[in-house]
Every structure is written in C-alpha cells, then in structure tokens.
Structure 1
Amino acid sequence: MNKYISILEQENEDFEIIYWDRLGSPDCPEKYKSIVFQKPSRLNLSHKDKIKDFLEFRRFVIKNINKRKYDKLIVLTSLTGIFLFDYLQKNYKNKFIFDIRDYTFENFYPYKMIENRVIKSSYFTTISSEEFKMFLPSSNKYILSHNILREEIEQANEFNKPKERDGIITVSFIGAIRHFDIDSKIALKLANDDRFKVVYHGYGVAYEKFKAFCQERKLDVQITGKYDRKDKIKLLANADIINAYYGIESYANLFAMPNKYYDSLIYKIPFWANPKVYSGQRSIKSGIGLNADLESESFANDLYHEYMEIDRLKFERDCNQELSKVVKEDELFISKVQEFIEIGGLK
C-alpha cells in the first residue's frame, strides 16, 4: 500500500483506501482518506468462517465502489482479486492493477482459473518475486515490484559487527510469526547460547504458542509482539543478523522475496535464510546471505563463525551492488504505475 501511495502522491493524484481492519489495529495513517470495514476476524479461523467474512468484505467493497464511482482501482492481494473477480471483469476491465504478494491457493484448479481471469482483465499484474511465475498462470502482464520504498534507501548505513559494541550477536526476526516448528527450533539452538541474543518483533498465528513454548522451557528469547511500521528502523538498529529462515514444507515460502531481504540491503545487516528457498539462494549468490544449516548439529558454531568472518568492505559493496540492481528493476514498475495513472485503459 505504501509503495503505491508514494507514487500517487508524487503524481498529485486523488485517492481513497478501502480496507479491512481484521485485528483491531488500523493499517492506514489518518492523513489518508479511508473507508474501513470493521469486523474482527481471527487469523486462525476455519476456512468456512474465513470465506463468510470475505464475502461480507466483498459486499462492503462493491457497495462503496459503486457509491464512489472510482475511475480506476489498485487491487491489493490475490484473495481480494479473487473475491471481486466477476465485478472487476464487468466494471473495471483494463482499469485496475492486480497486486500479487504471495502464493495462496494456486494448487486448487478452480482458484487458479479465476485468478487467470483477473490477471487477463487487469491493466497489468504486479508480482513481488520473479519466481511467482512458477505457480501463476502464464501471462505477459506481469511486472516485478520489489518490496522496497525509495525513501527507505536514504536511510542506508554501514555494517558494524557486535564486537565493536558488546560482543553479542543479535539475531532479529521482524514480521508475522507463523512458523512455530522453525521458530521453536531456532530458539532451542540459539536462545541460551551466550554468543547470541534472539529477538522476535511481530505477531501472527503462531505467536501465542511460540511465546508459551519459550516461557515453559525458560528460553531467553525477547518477544515484543506487534510493532508500528514507523519503528522498524529503531528495531533494526539493534539487529546483527536478520532472521528470514523459513522451512520448505510450506509452498508459499519457496518463491517469495520477503521485506527482510531489502532491509538487509539497505541497513547493511547480514541476511540468514534457508538456502533451499529462493530468497536464501539469491542472498548467497549476491553475497549478503549467511549459509548456516539449521539442521546441523554444529549450527550455532557455524552461524557464529560465518558471521564473524564477514569482510566489512566486501559485504557493504555486495549490498550496494544488489541494491542498485533492485532499484533498476523497480524503475519499470514505477513507470508502469505512472502510465496507468495517465491512461489506465481509458483511451
């Protein structure tokens, strides 16, 4: 949302935001005009209950679009597009951007067919990882959009090892806590090792279970809960390693490019991910990633030594080179949004 807002503001476009406040924590800053669907909906609801809630959200969205009569739409996330597919086809063909940020239910054939119809009806479809083409319908409408904001790049700083501070390596996770099996394993292997400090910022479906697990086993893990996006820089200031390690059991993790990857590039913090997933492979290839294997008995030692052997100048150079590549790739996306604003299928 913030990325599109940034472009719309630069183009002096009038816009409104329709969104669902599912968890009682508004996502939209007050300075923007917004229409909020206020219905609590827990993250761990059954599929049946989730569908019911999404259908209510669909009715709310359509009602407000009809009332406001917008010229064009930007449809954020796959599920929103799926639940609005017939309305978009009929009323906004070639007048909306469809933004796909994650793998959802593409293994379910009817879902994928509906998604294909949404993509075909869009002015263009944004994907946040080139690897999404592995599971999405074939199309020439895909435009890559990295999860990075240009204004954040100005915050870029230098790489500093913890030995220049207190000697303890802080391994920080910032985001949705959803993968209990992986997070509990990380906590068991690192939390009570004097060389490391383990920190989790965020909330998600596994938050309560993970927190209870650490408390029951007296694992020294700092778990802070929900955070405000504007505080991210402050949270990253104390991070030595960005924890972006996800398992391969979930198909969604294989192809995604998490925000954490771009945080690593901008703030010069080594990125630790599973080398069996795309983000881990790209980070190692680009020189910003750590390759310690969580499943190895020597994992803690491997992670410690790999980190301490990082060459500061080389690491910073690799971050800057990869960041330049990302910015160049992102320029096409920005130009396509500007094109959409100017004509957007209204020729």
Structure 2
Amino acid sequence: MKIAIVTQSQIVRVPHLKIFRNILNDYNCNYDIICWNKEGLVDKEGIIFNYYCPATSPKIKKIYGYLLYLRFIISKVNRSSYDKLIIISPALAIVMYPYLKFKYKNKFWLDYRDVSIEQKFMKIFTKVLRISSNISISSDGFRDVLPMNFDYVLSHNFNIDIIKSSRLNNSNLCKKNISNLPIVISTIGYLRDTNVYIELIDGLKDSKNFELRFIGEGPSVNNLKNYKAINRISNMSFYGRYEICEESTFYYETDFVNIYFPKEFSNLMSNRFYNALIYHRPMIVNSNSFQAEFVKKYNLGLVVDDFVDVENKLFDYLQSYNCVEFEENCNNLLNEFLSDYYYFEKKLLEFLNIR
C-alpha cells in the first residue's frame, strides 16, 4: 500500500506530522509527503510545491495559491496512484472535495488541529467528513464547533517517545525558592498573538522578580521588539527561529510556560501545553480555554482571567506549590493521554490495513 500525506505548509511548520510518520515508519509503510513551501524556506524533504505566499499575503493571492496547489496535488496523486491519503488540513480537504469524492471516497484520513476557514463553509465541510474514512482531532474541545454524529478520534500533539521518558524530568521550581529569582516565564514556538503577549508584558514589565522570554519566530516578533524599545523594558528577551532539537533546552531553562491564548483559540490543545506537561513545567493559561480544565483538575499551573495583578497571583501559586504533587499530577495526566494515543494508533493501523 502506498500512502500520501498532504499538508498545507512545509514540513517544518507541521510538528504534529511526526505523530503519523512515527507509526508509518514503525510499520515500514511506503509513503510520500506533499507539502507547500509558502515561506521560501530551504527544505529538501517531501514533494514540494514552491509558491511564496506567507500569512501576510492578500486574500486574492492566497486563493490563487490554493488553486495552484490543488492542481499540483492532483497531478502528483494521479501520477503515483496512491491507495490512500492522509490530509493534514480541513481547508485543503474542502478545496479537494470534488476530487476526493470522485477518487478517494472512504479512502482518506482527515486530521483536524485548529479552528479555521471550515467554520465559514460548514455545509461542504460536513460533506467532506461524510466521505472520509477517519477523522482525528487534537482536542475534545473541538467537538463543540464540529458537526455531531461523527466518530472523532482524539490525537494529542505530542511525541510518543518523549512522553515515555518524561518521568526523568524535574520541575525547576523543585529547586527554586522565593530568594532564588528571577522566575523565568517563556513563550515558546510560533509567535502570533501580539495583543495577548503585551498584556503579559504590561503585567510584569521591569519586575526584578520575573524574566520574560519570547522564543521562536512569527508576525508578533517585530511588534514586541518595538514595544520593548519604546517602553524601555528591561526584563524581556528574544531568541529567534530555532531547530526542533533545541526546544527541550528552552523548556528545561524556564519556570513557567505561557499558554495564554486569544478567545478564538479557546477550543484547542496547544503544542506548548503538551511540552509543558512533558518537561514538567507549570503553565499559565486563560480561564475560558479548554486547556484550563486540565490545569485546574490536575493543578498544573496558574489559571487567570487576565494579567491584572499577575505578579501577586504568581507568588501566591509559588507559595502553595508542592513539587512531589506536581510531578505526580503531570505523570497521571500523561498516562491518560497515552491511553488516547494507543487508541489513535489502533485506528490508524486499521486504516492502513495493518492488524
């Protein structure tokens, strides 16, 4: 059997692709990855469609890009006669709907990781779901915004190998106390939520007790650097684009992980959430998010409505922090997620006709 994984970005921008690849590799499956190099990055892996179309492009350019990419996908799929497809994008699945209905009805797996344009095209998206073989979602929170009566398979955003070894890690706060300052708060990954970051900055700027780190790239970086310069903020720093092998170091060197998101992302489970859990780092989340339910249930960090008086809220959390309980809670939730993963693996192997 030959499989094609189809994404709407270059491979480096799709970290959860590894979840599928690990299983395909473990069972020596024959597969290709069809991807779109939107940002002009140097990437030699995959069957690459090169058309520069970053997130800041005009809408007409994005539409034209999708049409060109659709033609590219169909050409490559027809040429290689793949038996089944794994589509890592609801937007792509919508654009591909006529082709999928004609050639791959009940022969494609749809992976859903973020609320997107499908909310504006729910009628056709529901048709896509009906002709799919399987649908994976990365958060149970998405069930609130997706059509009912479909068998959604939960697929968490984590690396299974790291999960299995995560019990070796210890929280920095196990070794810190109030006199061992500053406390490091890091926002790690793709930086796009400028207004939210500024709320955090305003709550802690120039505090000698806290250091703010923004690690990664994205449209917010220049805005935040300008904000720092204009306001002469002394306790924030930046580290640009990084390799995935460096990521663990950033988590090891932080005390709290900032996972406060805008309301439009309240249903998702972010990569940062899983990484904070894996590396045993307390997190800061907004109270109206799906992630907050886990943080409150397992006491994994600070849940806030906003960043008003956030310094005192953080110190209150530190006063009640119990290292042993925190480590145990992280491992308990990871075990729960492992059960979900093994069910996802079972369903994927069934899709691949591997018993």
Query: TM-score w.r.t. structure 1 length?
Result: 0.91
| 1:151 counterpart residue number | 161
State the AA in 2 paired with 1:80: L
Shift in Å, 1:218: 1.8
Shift in Å, 1:308: 4.4
Which structure 1 segments of 5+ residues have no match?
none
| 1:235 counterpart residue number | 250
Q: Does 1:160 align with 2:134?
A: no
Q: Does 1:134 align with 2:134?
A: no
Which of 189, 192, 196 lines up with 1:178 in the alignment?
192
C-alpha distance in 2 between matches for 1:155 and 1:318: 13
| 2:8 counterpart residue number | none
Provide closer, same or farther for how the CA distance between residues 306 and 317 of structure 1 changes in structure 2, counting only shifts above 3 A: same
Are the counterparts in 2 of residues 100 and 128 from structure 1 also a CA contact under 8 Å?
Answer: yes
3-state SS in 2 of match to 1:198: strand
Are the counterparts in 2 of residues 126 and 142 from structure 1 also a CA contact under 8 Å?
Answer: yes
Shift in Å, 1:197: 0.8
Are the counterparts in 1 of residues 196 and 261 from structure 2 also a CA contact under 8 Å?
Answer: yes
4+ residue stretches of structure 1 with deviation over 6 A?
Answer: none
Are the counterparts in 1 of residues 251 and 276 from structure 2 also a CA contact under 8 Å?
Answer: no
Compute the RMSD of aligned alpha carbons: 1.9
Which of 111, 123, 144 lines up with 1:99 in the alignment?
111
3-state SS in 2 of match to 1:342: coil
Are the counterparts in 2 of residues 145 and 333 from structure 1 also a CA contact under 8 Å?
Answer: yes
Q: Does 1:12 align with 2:23?
A: no
Which of 129, 154, 159 lines up with 1:119 in the alignment?
129
Provide closer, same or farther for how the CA distance between residues 174 and 76 of structure 1 changes in structure 2, counting only shifts above 3 A: same
C-alpha distance in 1 between matches for 2:245 and 2:99: 35
| 1:320 counterpart residue number | 331
Provide closer, same or farther for how the CA distance between residues 40 and 129 of structure 1 changes in structure 2, counting only shifts above 3 A: same
| 1:71 counterpart residue number | 83
Shift in Å, 1:26: 4.9
3-state SS in 2 of match to 1:328: helix
Matches within 5 A, 1:1-347: 1-26=17-42, 34-108=46-120, 111-153=121-163, 154-156=165-167, 157-161=169-173, 163=176, 166-219=180-233, 220-248=235-263, 250=264, 253-296=265-308, 298-342=309-353
Provide closer, same or farther for how the CA distance between residues 292 and 134 of structure 1 changes in structure 2, counting only shifts above 3 A: closer
Shift in Å, 1:152: 1.3
C-alpha distance in 1 between matches for 2:108 and 2:180: 51
C-alpha distance in 1 between matches for 2:276 and 2:307: 23
Are the counterparts in 1 of residues 91 and 118 from structure 2 also a CA contact under 8 Å?
Answer: no
Query: TM-score w.r.t. structure 2 length?
Result: 0.89
Are the counterparts in 1 of residues 215 and 241 from structure 2 also a CA contact under 8 Å?
Answer: yes
- Equivalent pairs, count: 334
State the AA in 2 paired with 1:116: T
CA offset digits 1:280-331 (Å, max 9, x no partner) = 22211122121244342x2211113313431000101111111100111121
C-alpha distance in 1 between matches for 2:124 and 2:86: 18
C-alpha distance in 1 between matches for 2:42 and 2:63: 21
Shift in Å, 1:100: 0.7
State the AA in 2 paired with 1:229: I
Q: Percent identity?
A: 27
Are the counterparts in 2 of residues 288 and 315 from structure 1 also a CA contact under 8 Å?
Answer: yes
Provide closer, same or farther for how the CA distance between residues 14 and 26 of structure 1 changes in structure 2, counting only shifts above 3 A: farther
3-state SS in 2 of match to 1:140: coil
